[in-house]
């Protein structure tokens, strides 16, 4: 592992006892536990690659051994910065009184509804033209095509993340979790972040328990899954951990690290890797697009139809592109749909064949 890309988690941010802080209610109010949804989409493609003894000689070696990697320069830096600028121009158009030059407006009432102080899942955000163009970048898709051995891929459209530093109004608690149901076995999904801002040691970014993916099955053998917390995400492929659980991973040799990345890098991690975000301690506004790609052939016709219908409504789904398909619904402010919600993106994506295939609308 390249030490320049990781740093210890700042000790000023200790894990709290709370592990399900800040999840959003959505207008659909989805509630699923592990046993009540079909697993679907099971495959051994990545697992069989992980078992190869021969080295790949690229970032895949780190991905399979450590449970995560950073693909450097997937998008040229200058282009990534353009995406970030477009994201901020889009953000500036919300009509809640936010002013980027006035930090007193960097508060909940002046910002769109976000999960954990940064994830924007409503407002058709994930379907804005800039988000789709980012997901269609060949340098972003190529690593996933390499991992899966096919370029006939679906992409997730779940959220974008714009996290402001120095927020005083958020009660932030870490939420260590995995994005794979305990009922799935083995390495089944590699999820991604298109990184548009600096993510150094003090910037906001992804934190993870290095090596935890390898302990997935052992953990659940020794610690049977607990029912989800009341306000945990309702999707199937999500499991939250307590502080004691994190200690179990640390006692088994895992180290909590911050993944460092630059604009244009793509972070890819095994969905069994325990992770959560760190809030910025610098002045940098964290800006990312979530993007996970999986083979289209893994999706059932029912899930493809559901995904296409969610796409046509410009709603978000989950991190999983081919299964675990749920509509996120509209952002809720309190008990009502946020007045800033919308039916379509401000700048609609161009509906190219590539977009429609990645969205599951057109077949390969």
Q: Which is nearer to Fe ion, 179 or 260 (CB)?
A: 179
SS3 263: coil
Q: Dmax of the chain from CA atoms?
A: 56
Site string for Fe ion, 268-307 (x = CB under 5 A): ----------------------------------------
- Stretches 28-36, 171-179, 193-201, 322-330: which one binds Fe ion (CB under 5 A)? 171-179
Judged by CB, which is closer to Fe ion: 167, or 319? Answer: 319
The span of 134-142, 172-180, 327-335, 341-349 binding Fe ion (CB under 5 A) equals 172-180
Stretch that binds Fe ion, among 30-38, 75-83, 89-97, 177-185 (CB under 5 A): 177-185
Q: Which among 31-39, 66-74, 79-87, 179-187 is the span making contact with Fe ion, rule CB under 5 A? A: 179-187
> Smallest distance from the beta carbon of 251 to Fe ion, in angstroms?
23
Helix (H) or strand (E) run with residue 194 in it? strand 190-195
Least distance CB 275 / Fe ion (angstroms): 6
Token pair of 187, please?
């390495």
Q: Considering beta carbons, is residue 158 or 303 the nearer one to Fe ion?
A: 158
Q: How far is the CB of 179 from Fe ion (least distance, A)?
A: 4
Could you count the other beta carbons within 10 Å of the beta carbon of residue 335? 6
CB of 362 to Fe ion, least distance (A): 28
Closer of 179 and 214 to Fe ion (Cβ): 179
Would you say the C-alpha torsion 70, 74, 79, 84 has a positive or negative sign? negative
Of 44-52, 93-101, 173-181, 246-254, which segment contacts Fe ion by CB under 5 A?
173-181
Q: In the bound complex, which residue of the shown chain has the CB atom lying closest to Fe ion?
A: 179
The residues, any chain, with a CB within 8 Å of residue 165's CB and separated by 6 or more, are 204, 279, 280, 281, 282, 283, 284, 285, 286
What are the Cα distances from residue 269, in Å, to 259, 333, 343? 10, 31, 32
Beta carbon nearer to Fe ion, 179 or 203: 179
> Whole-angstrom Cα distance, residue 134 to residue 83?
7
Q: Treating both helix axes as pointing N-terminal to C-terminal, what angle do 59-66 and 138-148 enclose, rounded to 10 degrees?
A: 60
Q: DSSP characters for 103-153?
A: GGG-SGGGS---BTTTEE-STTGGGSHHHHHHHT-HHHHHHHHHHHT-S-E
Query: Interface residues for Fe ion in 321-360 (CB under 5 A)?
Result: none
Distance CA(122)–CA(276), nearest Å, equals 20
Contact flags string 193-212 toward Fe ion, x per CB under 5 A: --------------------
Under 8 Å between Cβ of 41 and 251: no
Beta carbon nearer to Fe ion, 178 or 310: 178
By the rule CB under 5 A, 179 interacts with Fe ion: yes
Residue with smaller CB distance to Fe ion, 184 or 333: 184
Residue nearer to Fe ion on the CB measure, 16 or 336: 16
How many residues sit close enough to Fe ion to count as binding (CB under 5 A)? 1
The least distance separating Fe ion from the CB of residue 232, rounded to whole angstroms, comes to 12
Based on the shown chain and the rule CB under 5 A, indicate whether residue 158 belongs to the binding site for Fe ion: no
Q: Using CB atoms within 10 A of its CB, is residue 234 exposed (0-12), middle (13-18) or buried (19+)?
A: buried
User: Which of 196, 146, 191 has the alpha carbon at shortest distance from 321?
Assistant: 191
| Contacting positions for Fe ion (CB under 5 A) | 179
């Amino acid at each position: 592992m390249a030490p320049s890309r990781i740093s210890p988690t700042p000790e000023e941010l200790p894990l709290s006892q709370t592990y399900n802080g800040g999840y959003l209610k959505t207008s659909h109010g989805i509630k699923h536990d592990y046993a009540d949804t079909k697993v679907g989409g099971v495959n051994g493609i990545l697992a069989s690659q992980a078992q190869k003894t021969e080295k790949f000689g690229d970032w895949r070696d780190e991905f399979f051994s450590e449970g995560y990697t950073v693909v450097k320069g997937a998008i040229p830096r200058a282009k990534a910065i353009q995406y970030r600028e477009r994201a901020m121009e889009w953000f500036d158009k919300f009509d809640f009184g936010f002013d980027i030059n006035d930090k007193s407006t960097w508060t909940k009432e002046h910002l769109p509804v976000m999960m954990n102080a940064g994830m924007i899942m409503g407002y058709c955000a994930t379907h804005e033209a800039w988000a789709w163009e980012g997901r269609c970048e060949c340098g972003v898709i190529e690593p996933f095509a390499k991992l899966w051995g096919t370029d006939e891929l679906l992409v997730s459209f779940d959220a974008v993340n714009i996290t402001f530093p120095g927020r005083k109004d958020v009660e932030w608690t870490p939420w260590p979790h995995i994005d794979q149901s305990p009922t799935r076995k083995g390495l089944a999904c590699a999820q991604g972040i298109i990184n548009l801002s600096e993510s150094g040691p003090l910037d906001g970014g992804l934190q993870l328990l290095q090596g935890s993916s390898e302990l997935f099955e052992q953990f659940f053998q020794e610690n049977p899954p607990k029912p989800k917390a009341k306000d945990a995400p309702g999707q199937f492929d999500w499991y939250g951990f307590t502080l004691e659980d994190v200690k179990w991973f640390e006692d088994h040799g895992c180290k909590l690290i911050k993944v460092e990345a630059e604009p244009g890098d793509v972070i890819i991690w095994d969905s069994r890797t325990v992770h959560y975000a760190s809030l910025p301690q610098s002045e940098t506004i964290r800006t990312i697009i979530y993007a996970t790609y999986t083979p289209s052939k893994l999706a059932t016709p029912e899930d493809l139809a559901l995904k296409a219908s969610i796409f046509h409504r410009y709603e978000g789904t989950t991190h999983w592109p081919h299964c675990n398909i749920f509509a996120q619904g509209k952002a809720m402010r309190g008990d009502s749909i946020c007045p800033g919600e919308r039916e379509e993106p401000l700048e609609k994506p161009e509906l190219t064949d590539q977009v429609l295939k990645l969205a599951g609308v057109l077949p390969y």
